[in-house]
Chains A and B, each alone.
Chain A
Amino acid sequence: MNRLFIKILKFVVNAAWYIFIPLMGIVSVVIAVKIWQMGYLIWDIPVYIKQVNNLPAIQSSGASFQYLGLNNAAAVLKVKVKLTPLLVANVVIFFSASMFLLFGILHQLRKILNSLKANTPFAFENVRRLRLISLFVFMMTVLQFIDSVRNYFLLPPDFPGLADVYRIQIYWGFQPIIISIVVFVLSEIFRQGYHLKTDNESFV
């Protein structure tokens, strides 16, 4: 069962590696050309709607339920932004960094799966790979956090009434940080496993 799962995982990771990379390259180029021709960019900004008024009243069919209202609903603001050199540089830097981290994770994962296939999982390289994955996941969270903080501080001055209705989401990335910590702990387990294996192999 586990072997089957690893095989499926390996297939998925390889497919992502061989299909996703060229596809992402093509899609990125197409989107870049389109944005360049249009001269503006549709910027998605995750927000919370502070208070939603004028919604149709909903009657509850059960006696124990009562509709009160909608508060702090998650939404996405779609902002049309004119292309400026600063914006282009911003997009290119954030996009490249995200892609670098994503492909970094995929690359390390492929190598780990290959070592599983070769029956050499407790190798020192795998310790390093797991640490890199942990670091990349953490850096992705930091990148998204910086992105949201930038939106939080840069957007309200340009949209005076924005703060009355919306609250821009700050991305804390609680789950990815937990994943990053778990992977880091796993890397430490692998390091100890590697030492045990080396110790065992030095006995005849």
Chain B
Amino acid sequence: MAIIINLDVEMAKNKMSLTELATRVGISMTNLSLLKTGKVKGIRFETLEAICRVLNCKPGDILDITAE
């Protein structure tokens, strides 16, 4: 996939675990883990917004694109 997820980088910057982020965002650990590993087809705006608010970042910090 050309879109890459840099969630682990932002989590490391904020020193936040997957469990804590899942609880604060309000999604399941399974779904967050799938998102982190890029195994999902897409992300809803509300989920992205919640993650950005918790991690104090912008969507562009989490999502990036690579040339295929």
The interface of chain A, by Cβ under 8 A from chain B, is 199, 202-204
Q: What's the least CB distance linking B10 to chain A, in Å?
A: 16
Which of B13-21, B33-41, B59-67 has 4 or more CB atoms under 8 Å from chain A? Answer: B33-41
Minimal beta-carbon separation of A158 from chain B (angstroms): 68
Nearest chain A CB to B11 CB, angstrom units = 15
Bound complex: CA A97 to CA B47 (Å): 55
Contacts from B to A (Cβ < 8 Å): 27, 31-32, 34-35, 40-44, 47
Nearest 4 interchain pairs by C-beta = A202-B41, A204-B31, A203-B42, A204-B35
Nearest CB of chain B from residue A195's CB, rounded to whole Å: 12
The CB with the most chain B CB atoms within 10 A, among A199, A203, A204, is that of: A204
How long is the Cα–Cα vector from A199 to B42 in the complex, in angstroms? Answer: 9
Bound-state Cα–Cα, A199 to B44, Å? 12
Please measure, in the bound complex, the distance between the C-alpha atom of A203 and the C-alpha atom of B41, giving whole angstroms: 6
Chain A nearest CB: distance from B3 CB in Å? 13
CA A131 to CA B34, docked complex, whole Å: 34
Residues from chain A with Cβ under 8 Å of B44 in the complex: 203-204
Q: Which residues of B contact A203 (CB under 8 A)?
A: 40-44
6 cross-chain CB contacts under 8 A: A202-B40, A203-B41, A203-B42, A203-B43, A203-B44, A204-B31
